[in-house]
Chains A and B, each alone.
Chain A
Amino acid sequence: MELSSKFQLVLEFTKREFKLNYRNAFFGYIWSLLSPLFMLTALYLVFTYVMSLSIPNYQFFLLIGIICWNFFSEATSRTITFLHSNSNLLGKHRIDPSVLVISSCLSSAITLVTNIVIFLVMAYFFRLYLPVFGILSLFYLILLFFFTLGISFVLAVIYSFFRDLEHIWRLAMLVGFWISPVLYSENVLEEGIRRIYMLNPIARIISHLRNALIYNFPNELMQSLITCVLVLIIFLAGSYIMEAFKKGFGERF
């Protein structure tokens, strides 16, 4: 299949996924806005009026962590369920499996973008000063997407051989939530541990985003570059693995 046809198929899959999610609901597509809005508002209110922590602007600090983590965890888990629910297509048509993976990540990216938009609206509403460096956040979000895509490729390949991955990954996501700086700042860790801790690209991206969006603090170029390289390596490795195990992918389902 040519590249443009593949791209078209990715779009069709993503469209279908989006439609299927909301079509049967009375409010339809409004839900795609309402649910993140409610969640983010609830979090905001709780951490403004119920629990106060020492981190400045903790509400927004938390929102960024949650948005990023949710995207990563949703996209990767969705990849697995997406392959599962489309296994009949894989067995009947010659589909490039990477098309399915990309579509599932794109579907989650729609939620990510909605969340970010809601976040910006809230930031404006609650008078958080949005710095010029905020524009950089777009770049970090793209990095996040490619990192997620790379991991999803690998997961898809493993899942095609090993169905237990679905359950294992659910556990991994539970653990991952706590070992990533979602609720807390990586600065609470000791210097030595932090070095290892910050090898986690998710942690790095969350931290960069917070710096750029909330704290008006330009990230060091070196640190951003390291993140870039890490993401690139993971993405390329993921694509390579996908390519290598593409043969007979459909029949393993």
Chain B
Amino acid sequence: MNNIIELKNIKKRFNLKKDSLFEHAKYINSLSNINFSIKEGDCIGIIGNNGSGKTTLLKILSGIIEPTGGKIKIPDKILTLLDVGGGIQEELTGKENIYFYGSLLGIKKEFLEKMVPEILDFSGIRNFLDIKMKYYSTGMKLRLIFAISMSVEHDIYLIDEILAVGDNEFQQKCLGKLRSLRSDKKTIVIASHDFRVISELCDKVIVMHKGKILTFSKPGIAIAKYLSKNIENIVSENTLLLSDIKVQLKRGSKTHMKKNLRPALVSGTKDKLKEATERTIITSNLFLDALYSDLKKNVSKNDLKSNYLNSLVKLKSTLLGLKNVSGEYIIYRKLRELFQTEILISMSQKENKERFREILCLFDKELMERDVDLAKLTRDFGDFLKWINIDLVDKSLILDALEMYKEIIDKRAGDVSFNQWNYHQVCINFIISADYELSCEENKAAEKISQKRIMELTSFRENVNRIRLTAAGWTK
């Protein structure tokens, strides 16, 4: 297929002081060295932080602004949906706006007349047709604009962040429309912060970072790279923050004459730390979301995994660095999730048996240090074990983990009877799943199940039972 869009060495520089004769020009490089091409029928996502150049790139693709340097090839019939407000005429009625906005997009009047009922249905503003736009709600304006834009076919659709506004129902409608465009093999470029949408719709994703393309690859890899870049930033910021706080505190104690200074510093530090914590938690949430959706879609390439692992480890180290902070339990829970995810990834990499053991040890060590109710913690470890799929992981590792779990309970029994009960639950869980595996495969095709596998599963089952029985000594 042909390249419908080609960008070669695109640069864009803005002069921020162009309106004044008396001030020196101040340039900002909004885009530099952008190279990519889009094939007909592709759906491309653009992600990146605010100010990374997403909108500038879309504007260049749409031909609204000219690049400062480089070569560009774009088609003629482009639909650009850059924002909600642009093009809405507040003083005109809904109907007049349909014609005005339609003409702005180059849609023929006769065609618009035909499309009015459909536009009204899609946007649901039928009762407000003769009302001035300024009395519309933001959502209604958005729906109208979207409906007009989608009423006609274009070669290529450039969409910037429109899904972020509007209620759930409308978002679903938009998504539906985008999906149908997708199946009609239209070329789409979407900039969005919604990774779920991006990873669902897009073939490839461009990650923008400070006006450059960080990567242009499959959604999972791109999102992982984007997040790991973000995490890097958070890590470096937090490290700076922590050292900064230490310096400030020291200085505060030297000038203890000023009694007000120290308390102020301490409270300031607390605020800063709180902010850092919140940011890290938000990022880890985003990251885990993207990761789970990718794992579900089974995009399990090895480079993807190593990317994820790198990001995970970084994120974890940031969280671990945030000690003695309020909201300890939330951090603990996040850490737990991160550990679990790390195991999930490394488990499916068969060569990483050692890693599994390491992570388990870390899980024990790091999480124990947190000021969390012991009963809760041991239970969490149990939950974590329950959650392991015996089919994916080496059985001996599970046995190791069970032994470790037992040790934990022995060492730090909080609510002893409860934890012991939980332990038995975990063991029984494993036995049941082993039984299930055995029975399942026997029923399916008795001849296909190898003797080796039966042996393996049976011995695993026995071992778990043995461990469980030794633990049964607790109650006696």
Contacts and interface: CB of A to CB of B under 8 A. Distances in A.
Interface of A: 1-2, 4-5, 8-9, 11-12, 15-16, 19-20, 23-24, 88-89, 91-95, 163, 247-248, 250-252
B86 A89 contact: yes
A92 B87 contact: yes
10 A-B pairs with least C-beta separation:
A92-B86, A248-B66, A251-B65, A12-B103, A5-B106, A9-B103, A1-B106, A8-B103, A94-B63, A12-B100
Contacts of A5: 103, 106-108
B99 A93 contact: no
B66 A89 contact: no
B391 interface: no
A24 to B, nearest CB: 8
Contacts of A12: 99-100, 103-104
B106 A2 contact: yes
A93 B96 contact: no
A52 to B, nearest CB: 46
Contacts of A92: 64, 80, 82-83, 86-87
A85 to B, nearest CB: 11
Interface string B42-69: 0000000000000000010011111000
Contacts of A250: 64-65
Nearest to A20: B91
Given A1-B106, A250-B64, A91 B100 contact: no
A16 B100 contact: yes
B71 interface: no
A100 to B, nearest CB: 11
B106 A89 contact: no
Interface size class of B (residues with CB under 8 A): 20 to 34
Contacts of B78: 94
Contacts of B109: 8
Contacts of B19: 163
B454 interface: no
B89 interface: yes
| Most chain B CB atoms below 10 A, which of A15, A23, A94, A251 | A94
Contacts of B105: 93
B162 interface: no
Given A16-B100, A19-B92, A94-B80, 11 more contacts: A1-B106, A5-B107, A8-B103, A8-B109, A19-B91, A23-B91, A92-B64, A94-B63, A163-B19, A251-B65, A251-B66
26 contacts: A2-B106, A5-B103, A5-B106, A5-B108, A8-B103, A8-B109, A9-B103, A9-B104, A11-B103, A12-B99, A12-B100, A19-B91, A20-B92, A23-B91, A88-B85, A89-B87, A91-B86, A92-B80, A92-B86, A92-B87, A93-B86, A93-B87, A94-B64, A94-B80, A250-B64, A251-B66
Nearest to B132: A23
A142 B227 CA distance: 63
A11 B103 CA distance: 9
Interface string B87-103: 10101100010011001
A248 B65 contact: yes
Contact of A93 (B18, B80, B91, B107): B80
Contacts of A9: 103-104, 106
B389 to A, nearest CB: 51
Interface in B106-132: 106-109
Interface in B451-466: none
Contacts of A16: 89, 92, 96, 100
A93 B79 CA distance: 9
Nearest to A161: B18
B388 to A, nearest CB: 52
Contact of A8 (B66, B83, B87, B108): B108
Contacts of A20: 91-92
Contacts of A89: 86-87, 104
**Residue of A16, A88, A95, A250 with highest tally of chain B CB at under 10 A:** A16
A23 B106 CA distance: 26
Contacts of B100: 12, 16
A55 to B, nearest CB: 44
Nearest to A5: B106
A94 B89 contact: no
Contacts of B83: 92
B187 to A, nearest CB: 17
A87 B112 CA distance: 25
Contacts of B108: 4-5, 8
Nearest to A88: B86
A95 B104 contact: yes
A91 B103 contact: no
A232 B205 CA distance: 52
Contacts of B99: 12
Contacts of B63: 94
A89 B87 CA distance: 6
B395 to A, nearest CB: 61
A5 B110 CA distance: 11
Nearest to A247: B66
A2 B59 CA distance: 21
A19 B91 CA distance: 9
A221 B64 CA distance: 47
Given A8-B108, A92-B82, A19 B64 contact: no
Nearest to A163: B19
